[in-house]
């Protein structure tokens, strides 16, 4: 019997109302709209309201995903929340979400794989469905990165935004769903992108606060190189596993960190730009939320249709990377 | 093909500049219009062409075409 594949049967996204434009950032740090736009492609990003935490964003996205899939919260067997900005170190944000959704039957855990987290969560959830350990999985990527960026550091504060996306996973009809996936990590690159303090290595104390060690630290050049290489290799890897050529790829959903990374990777792959979704201009890098936000946008714009071959690919802190090839299942397609 | 000719063709491809503008003295940023990320991409292309690893601290010191050519000759 062939392995049971998982499909995304519902999607939901949520972004906070407040928009922070490059013009507003010019008043906060020494930067310019021109510099940010040419280096990153970002024009604006969303910022969570005071008191709005990651689980709040996740809840809105999850409710929309459940409604989209026509699934009740109590039907969920497993909740996986990929995030770098949990409400607190513990309990898991997934447990806070389980409570606020009323998903009484669900197991729940968080997954930490940097900006790659959503693909890791999708693949992990897909494995539970393939193995029969769960029938309905909720995979979420949610972030309030505005809470961990240093708003005095012009190199990083312009890059990130807040948002959330959620996907309901269920068994796919024959021929649909998750065709292939590859997960990777390069632990040696960990220091290139990290939040140094607040864990067991450097517990929070006055010095760690004074030295800005509770903020995102990043070596952009090295991460850029890693990103371009792994996005190309990851995409080629899952294409090979799924038996797809470049011409077979209907749509690529890359992690939205920086337009220059996306452009460089797409050029190396030889993909036509119209087959790539870009929305980094409006949301910045929302880390684990970026892939579901982009996927939802492509779907709502009618750019992804039932039966399309879609590749999701990302990279992030860890360093990590992942790619997944999906034959898109539109649950509302005409029979 | 000499190292310079190979480097030149990579620069023309990566930065979209005219071959005639690529000489040993040309600065990537001032003369060839590159920004910091163009240089990262250029370094990646050079690493692949010449099968080298150019660490970030070295890459930061490469400012002109001539410095890139010399770096490659010294490390091959």
| 3-state secondary structure at position A87 | coil
pLDDT (average), residues A76-92: 98
Asked if the model's pLDDT at residue A3 lies above 80, the reply is no
Question: A6-176 with A178-327: one CATH topology?
Answer: yes
Q: What confidence tens digit (pLDDT) does each residue in A24-82 have?
A: 999 999 999 999 999 999 999 999 999 999 999 999 999 999 999 999 999 999 999 99
Asked if the model's pLDDT at residue A127 lies above 70, the reply is yes
Give me the pLDDT at residue A120, please: 98
Contacts A221 to B, Cβ<8 Å: 36, 40, 56, 59
The pTM score is 0.94
pLDDT (average), residues A258-271: 94
CATH architecture of B3-75: Orthogonal Bundle (1.10)
pLDDT (average), residues A274-301: 97
Give me the pLDDT at residue A334, please: 55
pLDDT band at A171 (very low <50, low <70, confident <90, very high): very high
**Residues A84, A287 contacting (CB under 8 angstroms):** yes
Q: Cβ separation of A221 and B56 shorter than 8 Å?
A: yes
Which residues lie below 8 Å from residue B10, measured CB to CB, with a gap of 6+?
Answer: B42, B45, B46, B49
Give me the pLDDT at residue A1, please: 45
Q: What confidence tens digit (pLDDT) does each residue in A305-326 have?
A: 999 999 999 999 999 999 999 9
The CATH superfamily assigned to A178-327 is Thiolase/Chalcone synthase (3.40.47.10)
Q: Quick check: bond before A255 cis, omega within 30? A: no
The percent of residues above 70 in pLDDT, for chain A, comes to 98
Contacts B56 to A, Cβ<8 Å: 219, 221-222
Of B37, B56, B59, the CB nearest to A260: B37
pLDDT band at B57 (very low <50, low <70, confident <90, very high): confident
Mean pLDDT (chain A) is 96
The CATH superfamily assigned to A6-176 is Thiolase/Chalcone synthase (3.40.47.10)
Which residues lie below 8 Å from residue A175, measured CB to CB, with a gap of 6+?
Answer: A327
Distance between A109 CA and the closest CA of chain B, angstroms: 37
User: In chain B, what are the domain boundaries?
Assistant: 3-75
Spatial strand order of the sheet with A177-185 comes to A177-185, A320-327, A309-316, A251-254
First to last CA, chain A: 25
User: In chain A, what are the domain boundaries?
Assistant: 6-176, 178-327
Q: Which residue among the candidates A22, A95, A255, A258 is catalytic per the annotation? A: A255
Is ipTM beyond 0.95?
A: no
> What does the block give as tokens for A109?
């855990």
């Amino acid at each position: 019997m062939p392995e049971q594949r998982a499909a995304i049967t519902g999607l939901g996204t949520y972004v906070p109302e407040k928009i922070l434009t490059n013009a507003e950032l010019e008043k906060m740090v020494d930067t310019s709209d021109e510099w940010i736009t040419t280096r990153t492609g970002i024009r604006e990003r969303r910022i969570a309201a005071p008191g709005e935490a990651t689980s709040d964003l996740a809840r809105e996205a999850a409710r929309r995903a459940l409604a989209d899939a026509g699934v009740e919260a109590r039907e969920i067997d497993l909740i996986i929340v990929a995030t770098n900005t949990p409400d607190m170190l513990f309990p898991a944000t997934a447990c806070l979400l389980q409570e606020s959704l009323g998903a009484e039957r669900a197991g729940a855990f968080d997954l930490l794989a940097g900006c790659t987290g959503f693909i890791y969560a999708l693949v992990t959830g897909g494995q539970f469905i393939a193995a029969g350990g769960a029938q309905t999985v909720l995979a979420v990527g949610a972030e309030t990165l505005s809470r961990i960026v240093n708003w005095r550091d012009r190199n990083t504060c312009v890059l990130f935004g807040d948002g959330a996306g959620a996907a309901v996973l269920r068994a796919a009809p024959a021929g649909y769903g998750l065709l292939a996936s590859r997960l990777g990590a390069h632990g040696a690159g960990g220091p290139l992108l990290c939040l140094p303090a607040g864990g067991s290595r450097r517990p929070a104390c006055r010095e760690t606060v004074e030295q800005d060690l509770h903020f995102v630290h990043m070596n952009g050049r090295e991460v850029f190189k890693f990103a371009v290489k792994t996005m190309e290799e990851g995409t080629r890897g899952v294409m090979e596993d799924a038996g797809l050529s470049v011409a077979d790829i209907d749509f690529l959903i890359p992690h939205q960190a920086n337009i220059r990374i996306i452009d460089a990777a797409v050029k190396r792959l030889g993909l036509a730009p119209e087959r790539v979704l870009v929305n980094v201009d409006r949301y910045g890098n929302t880390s684990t939320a970026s892939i579901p936000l982009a996927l939802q946008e492509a779907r709502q714009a009618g750019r992804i249709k039932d039966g399309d071959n879609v590749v999701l690919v990302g990279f992030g802190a860890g360093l990590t990377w992942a790619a997944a090839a999906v034959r898109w299942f539109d649950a509302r397609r005409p029979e | 093909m000499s190292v310079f000719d190979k480097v030149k063709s990579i620069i023309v491809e990566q930065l979209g500049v005219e071959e005639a503008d690529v000489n040993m003295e040309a600065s990537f940023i001032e003369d060839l219009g590159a920004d910091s990320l163009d240089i990262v991409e250029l370094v990646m292309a050079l690493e692949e062409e010449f099968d080298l690893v150019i660490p970030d601290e070295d890459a930061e010191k490469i400012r002109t075409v001539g410095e890139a050519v010399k770096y490659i000759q010294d490390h091959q």
